[in-house]
Structure 1
Amino acid sequence: MSTTRTALDHAGAGVYSRSTARHLTDALERRSALDPAVAVLEAVARPVVGGERRWRTLRGAALGHPLHPVLTDAPVGLWTSSVVLDLVGGEGAQDAADRLLGLGVLAAVPAVITGLADWSAGDTGVRRVGVVHAALNGVALAGFAGAWLLRRRGHRRAGVAASLASFGIAGGGAYLGGHLAYATGARPQQSR
């Protein structure tokens, strides 16, 4: 590892470790009140993630790193593009914005499944933050799906408003996802 890289890593870690948001995420890791929600998500994840072979596939074993972060880029990019078109694209961009929104909803499905696999490998703190991450992203996904339906039924303004609200909620979920990936390294539990 180069000296420059090490200096940059330490500089970034110093900024991140002093943030208020970091203190909040660290508090989530210690919040035992989240354990009942963790148990519910575990019951949902278990049949989806399946046995060892499916779990390893969903975690990206063939790639050598987790698959979930790779798959989140598609829905995030599609939804971001849709929101941009809603805000600056004008009337001629409405159909494209709607298609991008719907494609983002579809693209979220594999991201959710691989996220459950990664979450199931985490230790207690990771699972606590992960359940909040999943809840925020689940609300955002439902909101984006609702926005798409509103648009299809001719309620464009309400659909755009729902997209914007969902985009904000997804931002909170993305922050927690970044915390899981970078601050915790998605610490694995001792055994699956």
Structure 2
Amino acid sequence: MSAVDKAPALVRWTRQLEEATSLDGAVHAMEPKVRFLFATGARGSFLRGEWLGHALHPLLTDAVIGSWTSATVLDLFGGRESSPAAQRLVGVGLLTIAPTAWAGWAEWSTSGEREKRVGLVHAGSIVVTFGAYAGSWVARRRGHHRAGAALALGGATVLGASAYLGGHLAIAREVGSRHPAFAEAETD
């Protein structure tokens, strides 16, 4: 029995996603647009975090995930009086998602085929998450706290799956810009 056969079901599913050539049409359709918008010149260099010496995308995800997770914690444990704070936190996540996505697309543009397949599903799940949290914000704005909290909880569920895929890309597949000095440190 191979290591893949012994792997947890989620790992096997992720490996199948990496090999899903059925995603290649969408990947190839997206590549020129993503490259043009997020990957070339000074804009691409900035979004990949080359000025920082480290990928920018993981840093930005903390603002989005942290805001939305905090809102969900307030919804579950904060009571009705925490509703305005939860709505503000949902709003922060909605405002920070765009630059986070741009940085992610910049990294995606430089990755390999397998990583692009997973990245495309990761991005798609973020679109679903964004929709749930946008709906949550609107519901809260209209005074429907419970509906907003329910939408946020659904968004948090999809966000967890998306974060798993993002973590897989960053850690298992090492997608992410880094300064060459870090590679030299590994060989020292």
Relative to the length of structure 1, the TM-score reads 0.84
Task: Give yes or no for the alignment of 1:99 onto 2:110.
Answer: no
Which structure ranks higher in relative contact order (CA pairs < 8 Å, sequence separation ≥ 6)? 2
- Taking the TM superposition and a 5 Å limit, the aligned residue runs for 1:103-118 are 103-118=92-107
Superposed CA RMSD in Å reads 1.8
Q: Which moved more, 1:39-48 or 1:75-84?
A: 39-48
2:34 maps to a residue whose letter is A
What is the CA-CA distance between 1:131 and the residue it aligns to?
0.2
Equivalenced residue count is 173
**Which residue in the other structure is 1:173 paired with?**
162
CA contact (8 A) 1:140 1:169 kept: yes
- Evaluate the alpha carbon distance shift between residue 65 and residue 94 of structure 1 in structure 2; reply closer, same or farther with a 3 A threshold: same
Partner Cα distance (1:88, 1:44) in 2: 43
Matched-pair contact (CA < 8 Å) for 1:29–1:126: yes
**CA spacing shift, 1:44–1:153, aligned 2, 3 Å:** farther
Alignment of 1:69 onto 2:58: yes
Following superposition, the deviation at residue 20 of structure 1 comes to 1.8
SS in 1 for 2:118: helix
Aligned to 1:5: none
The letter of the residue matching 1:121 is: T
In the TM superposition, what whole-angstrom CA distance separates every residue of 1:134-161 from its partner, at most 9, and x where no partner exists?
0011110121011101111222221111
- Superposed, 1:1-192 pairs within 5 Å as 18-186=7-175
Residue identity over aligned pairs, in percent, reads: 43
1:78/1:101 contact within 8 Å kept:
yes
Which deviations, in whole Å up to 9, do the C-alpha atoms of 1:58-101 show, x marking residues without a partner? 10111112110111000100111100111111111110011111
**Residue 54 of structure 2: SS of its match in structure 1?**
coil
Q: Identify unmatched segments of 5+ residues in structure 2.
A: 178-188
**For the Cα contact (< 8 Å) 2:17–2:118, is it kept in 1?**
yes
Post-superposition offset of 1:46: 2.9
4+ residue stretches of structure 1 with deviation over 2 A?
A: 39-44, 50-53
CA distance in 1, matches of 2:50, 2:165: 23
Q: 1:160 to 1:43 in 2, by over 3 A?
A: farther
* TM-score for the superposition, normalised by structure 2: 0.86
Q: Which deviates the most, 50-59 or 71-80?
A: 50-59
1:30 and 1:174 mapped to 2: Cα distance? 20
Could you tell me which runs of 5 or more consecutive residues in structure 1 were left unpaired when the two chains were aligned: 1-13
Matched letter for residue 79 of structure 1: W
